[in-house]
A and B are shown apart, each in its own frame.
Chain A
């Protein structure tokens, strides 16, 4: 038994065949917890997060090798190694199977027909490795009439039930956030994976995890599913309001696009807020002093609070209301969060060294601290194919000639064959549309990364390319 607390995945090797958000993020988190994660990338199909679709490129400049410069890729794929392997070729599959014998976990998010087409479905793989845990993430799972349907987070959010209950009062359904279903899948997948690992360590037997994103979302809208059966009723879209608590809403505050969330959850808190608003008579007003009355006069109450909040600073209100026990908080943006004293104190963003030209960057860590174990981002995300040769040589023991043959046959590649279009974001147009709220040329010094390239305005390089609205 080791003498000190150890990370749970030390000695575990993971082959990560996945793309985009959900499972790449899951793989990155596994590496934070001690696993050795090899990202197996296709030479012909670049992970979308390496490309222009998501970007953004470092300082909005695609450079010579845009696939190594995407910000989001570095967040999701931290700590991994990269092997660029063509699984469409028999030799590529051989390399994969050699690796498989030396690995514990396989991650993929191909639609259900792809891995079997290559002969790499779980039933085949477990013959070589009975303890293998294979997690396959798909939009709808591997069985059922919709299993072959393609999917991405944005459209799944509608299908899984979340959008129906999201939106401004009286307005159409909305999607909110960034690819919400992907994160649900990531977290649910991690639970399933660790449960399967516990089983494997006890019994020596692996298994297949069939992670269908659709049903994870449907599990998080239980309230209306039960309400419907109870009385046939349905929940309406109520924006930022709470069905029971009033006031509980978002209020405009002083400054440009500043917003304050305030949730009053008891009559006592309402009385406190009324006094803070310098309107103590509201606390005793019979129309408002009970929750049911405030619900009836929701518009009036919201207007009163809105009027008070309008001329106040969000941070001032945060201190004032929180010190009196009222739940509240500003709508923070990315800059606010990266310089936020609380998150800094908790070490939520980890400063990760990256090779030039990227340099040190803050990267999202994990939403929990362990007291005794050193979970952290091990190293930066890999460049495309960065670990090709070390993996073939050191892990598989191939000789230089065998390695060169693999490169010659384009089974293993150093560069993407089909990198697609790269380009800068049209930040000027985005600022005009306000889909970008700001572009800080001094962002490095603001987040403690040292000197800024003051001579260069990132917007000056903009091409005529707009990125899609983030999924």
Chain B
């Protein structure tokens, strides 16, 4: 994000000079969510310029404060680097939403918000008297986005889930992995990031409408359905043909994108995209690739051991990244398997100013993936590091929504404030 390195002063958590405005300048977001999906969505709105206030459970805060990677010599609950990634551009206030004392503060916060994001299990907020109807009563223009595993309604509404369970039930695993082995999930915690991307856009869908017509909205987002939305091919195989897709064949054309080992790393190669297959003959300086018997995927399917042996031989003395660069320059569809270190070193991401360094008082400085998308007039930006738990209690509750100091003091014991666990 271009504005960061010059204008960000991490130790005080504020911009010294205001950068070019964000697209959502003036939009106020209240983040009641926890974990990955909801907070990531709220952060993205913050990156677009919205002012985000995060409400956390007193004492321990958002449970993402305990998600790895953890810097174990930092004070609890400020150890999680993942939490920092998901919560910059936010201010933190600790409020125990279960207690009646929190009600007046929350009411004022909802009144002052355009978008509220929550990720409690269905019915929980309502049980505390803070459901969507109450919020709309307080602020008829507010958008409430609820991010849950299976949505607010339907037979699975109360079901528990994990990233694995969501990937299984969405259908993605049915088509992933090899037919003679078990289905395979995406690595890490992809479900929740997918849901975060969707929750950000769905919140803006409703906000855009509410800003125009004055009517608030409840967005009931299902993480399960976010993943099921990816299966546009799989679904139409059945809906138009009655075909149930399976996993990948044991033996498949190595030019279908499966990573192939090189001397160093793995290369992924794919045909199509306009460049003729013979381009591989030039890339590897091997005339065999001009043989018409290799020209199409169905032909190669018949000769898989031969094609694979040839390709692996070509790669045996090469680094995957070199082949990737040379192949892509020849306009071939190639990819190179990259891990964290490769991404951190990537010359292209560097040229795009993708990574940002953020100083945090509890952990020191780390380098984070930054800008998702480049907007020419209103660039995304990181204007403040992630907050310490309850760091902005007085700034938000007293200075901005007008509670008295006494009212704030009786909300929760002061010992529950930042770093005091």
Q: Mark A179-196, 1 if CB is under 8 A from B, else 0.
A: 110011001111110111
Which residues in A have their C-beta under 8 angstroms from that of B222?
A: 346, 348, 367-368
Which residues in B have their C-beta under 8 angstroms from that of A4?
A: 213, 215
Q: How far is the CB of A203 from chain B (nearest CB, A)?
A: 9
Q: Which residue of A lies closest to B200 (CB)?
A: A191
Which residues in A have their C-beta under 8 angstroms from that of B244?
A: 333-335, 436-440
Task: Tell whether A433 is near chain B: CB-to-CB under 8 Å.
Answer: yes
Task: Tell whether A331 is near chain B: CB-to-CB under 8 Å.
Answer: yes
Q: How far is the CB of B373 from chain A (nearest CB, A)?
A: 4
Looking at the complex, which one of A76, A242, A436 makes contact with B164 (CB distance below 8 Å)? A242
Task: Tell whether A165 is near chain B: CB-to-CB under 8 Å.
Answer: yes
Interchain CB contact under 8 A, A177 and B176: yes
Task: Tell whether B12 is near chain A: CB-to-CB under 8 Å.
Answer: no
Q: How far is the CB of B115 from chain A (nearest CB, A)?
A: 11
Interchain CB contact under 8 A, B170 and A155: no
Task: Tell whether B24 is near chain A: CB-to-CB under 8 Å.
Answer: yes
User: How far is A56 from B273 in the complex, measured between Cα atoms in Å?
Assistant: 20
User: How far is A60 from B238 in the complex, measured between Cα atoms in Å?
Assistant: 11
User: From DSSP, what is the main secondary structure of chain B's interface residues?
Assistant: mixed
Which residues in B have their C-beta under 8 angstroms from that of A146?
A: 328, 348
Interchain CB contact under 8 A, B239 and A155: no
Interchain CB contact under 8 A, B164 and A248: yes
Interchain CB contact under 8 A, A72 and B233: yes
Interchain CB contact under 8 A, B23 and A198: yes
Which residues in B have their C-beta under 8 angstroms from that of A444?
A: 242
Known: A215-B371, A218-B354, A226-B368. A199 touches B377 (CB 8 A): yes
Q: Mark A151-170, 1 if CB is under 8 A from B, else 0.
A: 11011111111111111100
Task: Tell whether A332 is near chain B: CB-to-CB under 8 Å.
Answer: yes
Task: Tell whether A115 is near chain B: CB-to-CB under 8 Å.
Answer: no
Looking at the complex, which one of A178, A248, A373 makes contact with B230 (CB distance below 8 Å)? A178
User: How far is A250 from B214 in the complex, measured between Cα atoms in Å?
Assistant: 47
Known: A222-B85, A338-B238, A369-B151. A152 touches B273 (CB 8 A): yes
Interchain CB contact under 8 A, A332 and B170: yes
Q: Mark A413-457, 1 if CB is under 8 A from B, else 0.
A: 000000000000101001001111111111110010000000000
Interchain CB contact under 8 A, B341 and A228: yes
Q: How far is the CB of A406 from chain B (nearest CB, A)?
A: 27
User: How far is A202 from B337 in the complex, measured between Cα atoms in Å?
Assistant: 43
Interchain CB contact under 8 A, B85 and A327: no
Looking at the complex, which one of B171, B274, B370 makes contact with A334 (CB distance below 8 Å)? B171
Known: A205-B377, A342-B155. A152 touches B85 (CB 8 A): no
Task: Tell whether A57 is near chain B: CB-to-CB under 8 Å.
Answer: yes
Which residues in A have their C-beta under 8 angstroms from that of B189?
A: 223
Q: Which residue of B lies closest to A122 (CB)?
A: B376
Task: Tell whether B206 is near chain A: CB-to-CB under 8 Å.
Answer: yes
Task: Tell whether B266 is near chain A: CB-to-CB under 8 Å.
Answer: yes
Interface stretch (choices B95-103, B254-262, B395-403, B411-419): B254-262
Which residues in B have their C-beta under 8 angstroms from that of A270?
A: none
Task: Tell whether B161 is near chain A: CB-to-CB under 8 Å.
Answer: yes
What is the interface residue range for chain A against chain B? 35 or more
Task: Tell whether A39 is near chain B: CB-to-CB under 8 Å.
Answer: no
Q: How far is the CB of A156 from chain B (nearest CB, A)?
A: 6
User: How far is A7 from B250 in the complex, measured between Cα atoms in Å?
Assistant: 47
Interchain CB contact under 8 A, A331 and B340: no
User: How far is A469 from B212 in the complex, measured between Cα atoms in Å?
Assistant: 45
Which residues in A have their C-beta under 8 angstroms from that of B253?
A: 468-469
User: How far is A335 from B239 in the complex, measured between Cα atoms in Å?
Assistant: 9
Q: How far is the CB of A175 from chain B (nearest CB, A)?
A: 6
Interchain CB contact under 8 A, A155 and B334: yes
Known: A434-B249, A439-B244. A187 touches B198 (CB 8 A): yes
Q: How far is the CB of A469 from chain B (nearest CB, A)?
A: 4
Known: A56-B241, A183-B194. A364 touches B378 (CB 8 A): no
Known: A207-B375, A370-B218, A371-B218. A226 touches B69 (CB 8 A): yes
Task: Tell whether B310 is near chain A: CB-to-CB under 8 Å.
Answer: no
Task: Tell whether A325 is near chain B: CB-to-CB under 8 Å.
Answer: yes
Task: Tell whether A366 is near chain B: CB-to-CB under 8 Å.
Answer: yes
Interchain CB contact under 8 A, A145 and B246: no
Interchain CB contact under 8 A, A215 and B349: yes
Which residues in B have their C-beta under 8 angstroms from that of A99?
A: none
Task: Tell whether A67 is near chain B: CB-to-CB under 8 Å.
Answer: no
Interchain CB contact under 8 A, B374 and A210: yes
Interchain CB contact under 8 A, A242 and B162: yes
Which residues in A have their C-beta under 8 angstroms from that of B152?
A: 369
Looking at the complex, which one of B23, B274, B301, B354 makes contact with A195 (CB distance below 8 Å)? B23
Which residues in A have their C-beta under 8 angstroms from that of B272?
A: 53, 152, 468
Q: Which residue of A lies closest to B215 (CB)?
A: A5
Q: Mark A1-44, 1 if CB is under 8 A from B, else 0.
A: 11011111100000000000100010000000100000000000
Interchain CB contact under 8 A, A333 and B338: no
Q: Which residue of B lies closest to A28 (CB)?
A: B232
Which residues in B have their C-beta under 8 angstroms from that of A399?
A: none
Q: Mark B369-394, 1 if CB is under 8 A from A, else 0.
A: 11111111110000000000000000
Task: Tell whether A356 is near chain B: CB-to-CB under 8 Å.
Answer: no
Q: Which residue of B lies closest to A363 (CB)?
A: B239
Q: How far is the CB of A229 from chain B (nearest CB, A)?
A: 5
Nearest 7 interchain pairs by C-beta: A71-B236, A155-B335, A443-B242, A165-B187, A71-B240, A154-B257, A367-B225
Known pairs A190-B204, A209-B374, A259-B183 / 9 extra A-B pairs, C-beta < 8 Å: A9-B208, A56-B237, A151-B273, A162-B187, A175-B258, A191-B201, A221-B340, A373-B217, A440-B238
29 contacts between A and B (CB under 8 A): A5-B213, A33-B205, A75-B232, A143-B351, A145-B351, A146-B348, A149-B329, A151-B273, A154-B268, A154-B270, A155-B333, A155-B334, A168-B184, A174-B177, A177-B175, A199-B23, A202-B26, A224-B339, A225-B340, A250-B168, A329-B159, A331-B174, A343-B154, A346-B222, A363-B239, A367-B198, A458-B241, A466-B298, A471-B257
